[in-house]
Amino acid sequence: MTGRRFAEIRAQGRGALVGYLPVGYPDVPISLAAMRALTGEGDAPGVDLVEIGMPYSDPVMDGATIQKAGTRALQRGVRTADVFAAVGAVAATGTPAVVMIYWNLVERYGADAFARDLKNAGGAGLITPDLTPDEAQEWFEASDAHGLDRIFLVSPSSTDDRLARTVSSCRGWVYATSLMGVTGTRTQTSSLAPALVRRIRTLDPEAMVGVGLGVSNGAQAREVAEFADAVIVGSALLNPLLTADDAGRPEDLSGLRTVVADLAAGVRSGTSLASQGLSGS
Protein backbone atom coordinates (compact mmCIF):
# COMPACT_ATOMS: atom_id res chain seq x y z
CA MET A 1 0.00 0.00 0.00
CA THR A 2 0.99 3.66 -0.14
CA GLY A 3 2.66 3.71 3.28
CA ARG A 4 5.01 0.97 2.15
CA ARG A 5 5.84 3.02 -0.95
CA PHE A 6 6.64 6.05 1.23
CA ALA A 7 8.92 3.89 3.38
CA GLU A 8 10.78 2.63 0.29
CA ILE A 9 11.32 6.20 -0.89
CA ARG A 10 12.40 7.30 2.56
CA ALA A 11 15.01 4.53 2.54
CA GLN A 12 16.41 6.13 -0.62
CA GLY A 13 17.14 9.26 1.40
CA ARG A 14 14.44 11.57 0.13
CA GLY A 15 10.83 12.48 0.69
CA ALA A 16 7.98 11.36 -1.57
CA LEU A 17 6.07 13.80 -3.76
CA VAL A 18 2.26 13.64 -3.86
CA GLY A 19 0.50 15.60 -6.60
CA TYR A 20 -3.18 16.58 -6.44
CA LEU A 21 -5.40 17.30 -9.44
CA PRO A 22 -9.20 17.16 -9.68
CA VAL A 23 -10.85 14.88 -12.20
CA GLY A 24 -12.91 16.72 -14.81
CA TYR A 25 -10.85 19.90 -15.06
CA PRO A 26 -10.56 21.42 -17.61
CA ASP A 27 -12.60 18.47 -18.86
CA VAL A 28 -12.50 14.75 -18.17
CA PRO A 29 -10.18 13.66 -21.05
CA ILE A 30 -7.68 16.49 -20.47
CA SER A 31 -7.72 15.91 -16.72
CA LEU A 32 -6.70 12.30 -17.33
CA ALA A 33 -3.88 13.46 -19.62
CA ALA A 34 -2.77 15.93 -16.93
CA MET A 35 -2.66 13.17 -14.31
CA ARG A 36 -0.54 11.01 -16.60
CA ALA A 37 1.78 14.00 -17.06
CA LEU A 38 2.07 14.25 -13.27
CA THR A 39 3.62 10.80 -13.15
CA GLY A 40 6.54 11.84 -15.38
CA GLU A 41 7.19 11.29 -19.06
CA GLY A 42 10.17 9.60 -20.64
CA ASP A 43 13.16 9.95 -18.34
CA ALA A 44 11.65 12.91 -16.50
CA PRO A 45 10.73 12.11 -12.87
CA GLY A 46 7.22 12.80 -11.73
CA VAL A 47 5.23 12.49 -8.54
CA ASP A 48 5.36 9.32 -6.44
CA LEU A 49 1.63 9.25 -5.70
CA VAL A 50 -1.30 10.94 -7.44
CA GLU A 51 -4.09 12.34 -5.28
CA ILE A 52 -7.20 12.52 -7.46
CA GLY A 53 -9.70 15.08 -6.25
CA MET A 54 -13.44 14.66 -6.76
CA PRO A 55 -15.04 18.10 -7.26
CA TYR A 56 -17.77 18.91 -4.76
CA SER A 57 -20.30 21.71 -4.57
CA ASP A 58 -19.58 22.57 -0.92
CA PRO A 59 -15.87 22.01 -0.27
CA VAL A 60 -14.84 22.94 3.28
CA MET A 61 -11.10 22.45 2.86
CA ASP A 62 -10.45 23.77 -0.64
CA GLY A 63 -8.98 27.21 -1.24
CA ALA A 64 -9.80 29.58 -4.09
CA THR A 65 -7.69 27.82 -6.75
CA ILE A 66 -9.10 24.34 -6.19
CA GLN A 67 -12.63 25.71 -5.75
CA LYS A 68 -12.39 27.52 -9.10
CA ALA A 69 -11.26 24.39 -10.93
CA GLY A 70 -13.83 22.24 -9.11
CA THR A 71 -16.68 24.59 -9.93
CA ARG A 72 -15.76 24.60 -13.60
CA ALA A 73 -15.46 20.80 -13.62
CA LEU A 74 -18.96 20.47 -12.13
CA GLN A 75 -20.35 22.98 -14.63
CA ARG A 76 -18.75 20.95 -17.43
CA GLY A 77 -20.44 17.76 -16.30
CA VAL A 78 -17.99 15.70 -14.23
CA ARG A 79 -19.64 12.82 -12.38
CA THR A 80 -18.56 10.67 -9.46
CA ALA A 81 -18.03 7.66 -11.73
CA ASP A 82 -15.38 9.64 -13.68
CA VAL A 83 -13.04 9.31 -10.73
CA PHE A 84 -12.65 5.60 -11.48
CA ALA A 85 -11.52 6.34 -15.04
CA ALA A 86 -8.94 8.73 -13.60
CA VAL A 87 -7.72 6.10 -11.14
CA GLY A 88 -7.40 3.59 -13.99
CA ALA A 89 -5.42 6.06 -16.11
CA VAL A 90 -2.95 6.72 -13.30
CA ALA A 91 -2.67 3.07 -12.27
CA ALA A 92 -1.78 2.16 -15.86
CA THR A 93 1.37 4.29 -15.55
CA GLY A 94 2.58 2.26 -12.56
CA THR A 95 2.17 5.17 -10.13
CA PRO A 96 -0.26 4.54 -7.26
CA ALA A 97 -3.38 6.67 -6.92
CA VAL A 98 -5.59 7.66 -4.01
CA VAL A 99 -8.84 9.61 -4.17
CA MET A 100 -9.60 12.71 -2.09
CA ILE A 101 -13.35 12.93 -1.74
CA TYR A 102 -15.97 14.39 0.59
CA TRP A 103 -17.79 11.65 2.43
CA ASN A 104 -21.30 12.63 1.31
CA LEU A 105 -20.43 11.56 -2.25
CA VAL A 106 -19.19 8.16 -1.07
CA GLU A 107 -22.23 7.69 1.15
CA ARG A 108 -24.56 8.51 -1.74
CA TYR A 109 -22.72 6.04 -4.03
CA GLY A 110 -22.63 3.41 -1.29
CA ALA A 111 -19.45 2.92 0.77
CA ASP A 112 -18.93 -0.73 -0.12
CA ALA A 113 -19.77 -0.19 -3.80
CA PHE A 114 -17.39 2.78 -3.94
CA ALA A 115 -14.60 0.77 -2.32
CA ARG A 116 -15.23 -2.14 -4.70
CA ASP A 117 -15.13 0.06 -7.82
CA LEU A 118 -12.08 1.95 -6.57
CA LYS A 119 -10.21 -1.30 -5.97
CA ASN A 120 -11.26 -2.70 -9.35
CA ALA A 121 -9.97 0.47 -11.05
CA GLY A 122 -6.57 0.02 -9.41
CA GLY A 123 -6.91 2.59 -6.62
CA ALA A 124 -4.98 2.38 -3.37
CA GLY A 125 -7.22 4.23 -0.93
CA LEU A 126 -9.17 7.31 0.09
CA ILE A 127 -8.42 10.65 1.71
CA THR A 128 -11.59 11.80 3.48
CA PRO A 129 -11.20 15.42 4.64
CA ASP A 130 -14.60 15.72 6.33
CA LEU A 131 -14.79 12.27 7.94
CA THR A 132 -13.42 11.67 11.43
CA PRO A 133 -12.56 8.18 12.72
CA ASP A 134 -15.41 8.45 15.25
CA GLU A 135 -17.92 8.53 12.39
CA ALA A 136 -16.13 6.18 10.00
CA GLN A 137 -17.34 2.71 10.98
CA GLU A 138 -18.87 2.14 7.54
CA TRP A 139 -15.60 3.14 5.88
CA PHE A 140 -13.54 0.95 8.23
CA GLU A 141 -15.62 -2.05 7.14
CA ALA A 142 -15.54 -1.23 3.42
CA SER A 143 -11.80 -0.41 3.35
CA ASP A 144 -11.02 -3.62 5.24
CA ALA A 145 -13.19 -5.69 2.91
CA HIS A 146 -11.45 -4.35 -0.20
CA GLY A 147 -7.93 -3.81 1.14
CA LEU A 148 -7.74 -0.03 0.75
CA ASP A 149 -5.77 2.62 2.59
CA ARG A 150 -7.72 5.07 4.72
CA ILE A 151 -6.08 8.44 5.22
CA PHE A 152 -7.52 10.83 7.77
CA LEU A 153 -6.42 14.40 8.41
CA VAL A 154 -4.83 15.98 11.46
CA SER A 155 -4.02 19.64 12.02
CA PRO A 156 -1.89 21.76 14.38
CA SER A 157 -5.00 22.33 16.51
CA SER A 158 -5.68 18.61 17.04
CA THR A 159 -5.60 17.65 20.70
CA ASP A 160 -3.26 14.86 21.78
CA ASP A 161 -6.25 12.56 22.29
CA ARG A 162 -7.65 13.36 18.83
CA LEU A 163 -4.22 12.97 17.27
CA ALA A 164 -3.73 9.54 18.87
CA ARG A 165 -7.14 8.26 17.74
CA THR A 166 -6.68 9.56 14.21
CA VAL A 167 -3.14 8.24 13.71
CA SER A 168 -4.12 4.79 14.98
CA SER A 169 -7.11 4.75 12.61
CA CYS A 170 -5.08 5.51 9.49
CA ARG A 171 -3.77 2.85 7.16
CA GLY A 172 -1.05 3.86 4.73
CA TRP A 173 -0.15 7.30 6.04
CA VAL A 174 -1.41 10.32 7.93
CA TYR A 175 -2.32 13.58 6.17
CA ALA A 176 -0.96 16.45 8.28
CA THR A 177 -2.34 19.85 7.31
CA SER A 178 0.45 22.30 7.99
CA LEU A 179 -1.79 25.34 8.32
CA MET A 180 -5.00 26.44 9.97
CA GLY A 181 -7.11 27.20 6.93
CA VAL A 182 -7.77 26.03 3.39
CA THR A 183 -5.58 24.92 0.50
CA GLY A 184 -3.53 27.37 -1.56
CA THR A 185 0.02 28.35 -2.35
CA ARG A 186 2.00 30.36 0.21
CA THR A 187 5.22 32.36 -0.02
CA GLN A 188 6.62 30.48 3.00
CA THR A 189 6.08 27.03 4.42
CA SER A 190 4.34 26.70 7.76
CA SER A 191 6.35 26.84 10.99
CA LEU A 192 3.63 24.71 12.61
CA ALA A 193 4.26 21.68 10.40
CA PRO A 194 7.53 20.37 11.94
CA ALA A 195 6.00 20.46 15.42
CA LEU A 196 2.91 18.59 14.23
CA VAL A 197 5.05 15.89 12.60
CA ARG A 198 7.08 15.53 15.82
CA ARG A 199 3.86 15.07 17.81
CA ILE A 200 2.73 12.33 15.42
CA ARG A 201 6.08 10.52 15.63
CA THR A 202 6.02 10.71 19.40
CA LEU A 203 2.73 8.80 19.31
CA ASP A 204 3.81 6.37 16.60
CA PRO A 205 7.45 6.40 15.44
CA GLU A 206 6.57 4.14 12.51
CA ALA A 207 3.76 6.31 11.13
CA MET A 208 4.23 7.66 7.60
CA VAL A 209 3.34 11.36 7.47
CA GLY A 210 2.47 13.50 4.45
CA VAL A 211 2.39 17.27 4.89
CA GLY A 212 0.09 19.38 2.74
CA LEU A 213 -1.23 22.91 2.25
CA GLY A 214 0.95 25.80 1.16
CA VAL A 215 3.80 24.23 -0.86
CA SER A 216 4.25 26.04 -4.17
CA ASN A 217 7.75 25.30 -5.53
CA GLY A 218 10.71 22.94 -5.44
CA ALA A 219 12.56 24.85 -2.73
CA GLN A 220 9.57 24.61 -0.39
CA ALA A 221 9.10 20.93 -1.28
CA ARG A 222 12.71 20.27 -0.31
CA GLU A 223 12.19 22.10 2.99
CA VAL A 224 9.15 20.00 3.91
CA ALA A 225 10.79 16.75 2.77
CA GLU A 226 13.50 17.34 5.34
CA PHE A 227 11.11 16.50 8.18
CA ALA A 228 8.14 14.68 6.59
CA ASP A 229 7.83 11.45 4.61
CA ALA A 230 5.82 13.06 1.81
CA VAL A 231 5.11 16.53 0.44
CA ILE A 232 1.58 17.12 -0.89
CA VAL A 233 1.07 19.77 -3.60
CA GLY A 234 -2.21 20.83 -5.23
CA SER A 235 -2.82 24.50 -6.02
CA ALA A 236 0.64 25.04 -7.52
CA LEU A 237 -0.10 22.26 -10.02
CA LEU A 238 -3.53 23.63 -10.85
CA ASN A 239 -2.43 27.23 -11.45
CA PRO A 240 -0.84 26.54 -14.88
CA LEU A 241 -3.96 24.61 -15.95
CA LEU A 242 -6.17 27.57 -14.98
CA THR A 243 -3.86 29.93 -16.87
CA ALA A 244 -3.99 27.77 -20.00
CA ASP A 245 -7.78 27.43 -19.72
CA ASP A 246 -8.26 31.18 -19.35
CA ALA A 247 -6.04 31.71 -22.41
CA GLY A 248 -8.23 29.40 -24.49
CA ARG A 249 -5.61 26.61 -24.56
CA PRO A 250 -7.00 24.09 -22.01
CA GLU A 251 -5.08 21.21 -23.60
CA ASP A 252 -1.71 22.95 -22.99
CA LEU A 253 0.07 20.98 -20.25
CA SER A 254 3.50 22.60 -20.71
CA GLY A 255 3.15 24.80 -17.62
CA LEU A 256 2.09 21.81 -15.53
CA ARG A 257 5.14 19.83 -16.70
CA THR A 258 7.41 22.72 -15.68
CA VAL A 259 5.98 22.80 -12.14
CA VAL A 260 6.21 19.00 -11.80
CA ALA A 261 9.88 19.09 -12.86
CA ASP A 262 10.66 21.78 -10.29
CA LEU A 263 8.89 19.93 -7.45
CA ALA A 264 10.41 16.55 -8.37
CA ALA A 265 13.87 18.11 -8.38
CA GLY A 266 13.14 19.72 -5.03
CA VAL A 267 12.37 16.51 -3.16
CA ARG A 268 15.45 14.89 -4.76
CA SER A 269 17.85 17.71 -3.90
CA GLY A 270 18.00 17.31 -0.13
CA THR A 271 18.60 14.62 2.42
CA SER A 272 15.49 13.60 4.29
CA LEU A 273 15.93 13.76 8.04
CA ALA A 274 13.14 11.20 8.22
CA SER A 275 15.39 8.74 6.36
CA GLN A 276 17.98 9.18 9.09
CA GLY A 277 15.50 8.55 11.86
CA LEU A 278 15.93 12.12 13.12
CA SER A 279 12.52 13.57 12.37
CA GLY A 280 11.20 12.85 15.82
CA SER A 281 14.17 14.30 17.63
pLDDT of residue 42: 80
Residue 264 C-beta-side C-alpha neighbours within 13 Å: 19
Angle between helices 254-268 and 235-246 (to 10 degrees): 160
pLDDT of residue 229: 96
> Integer distance in angstroms from the first to the last C-alpha of the chain?
27
Worst-scoring range by mean pLDDT, 54-58, 68-72, 105-109, 184-188?
184-188
- Which DSSP state fits 171? B
Average pLDDT, the chain: 91
Give backbone dihedrals phi and psi of 154, rounded to 5 degrees, phi first: -125, 160
pLDDT of residue 279: 43
Check: CB of residue 121 under 8 Å from CB of residue 94.
no
User: Which pLDDT band holds residue 234 (cuts at 50, 70, 90)?
Assistant: very high
Distance set, CA 76 to CA 61, 99, 253 (Å): 22, 20, 19
Q: How far apart are CA 9 and CA 261, in angstroms?
A: 18
Percentage of the chain modeled with pLDDT above 90: 81
> Is the pLDDT reported for residue 13 higher than 50?
yes
pLDDT of residue 274: 52
pLDDT of residue 41: 82
pLDDT of residue 1: 81
Distance set, CA 12 to CA 77, 100, 229 (Å): 42, 27, 11
Q: Which residue has the higher pLDDT, 175 or 281?
A: 175
Containing 57, the helix (H) or strand (E) segment is: none
Burial of 137 (0-12, 13-18, 19+ CB in 10 A): exposed
Q: How far apart are CA 164 and CA 162, in angstroms?
A: 5
State the SS3 of 238-259: HHHHHHHHHCCCCCCCHHHHHH
Check: CB of residue 98 under 8 Å from CB of residue 212.
no
* Bridge partner residues of 20 (DSSP): 51
> Is the pLDDT reported for residue 60 higher than 90?
no
H-assigned helices in the chain: 2-11, 28-38, 64-75, 82-91, 103-109, 111-121, 137-146, 160-169, 192-203, 218-225, 235-246, 254-268
User: Which pLDDT band holds residue 281 (cuts at 50, 70, 90)?
Assistant: very low
Q: Supply the residues annotated as catalytic.
A: 51, 62
Containing 135, the helix (H) or strand (E) segment is: none
Percentage of the chain modeled with pLDDT above 70: 91
> Is the pLDDT reported for residue 78 higher than 90?
yes
> Is the pLDDT reported for residue 148 higher than 50?
yes
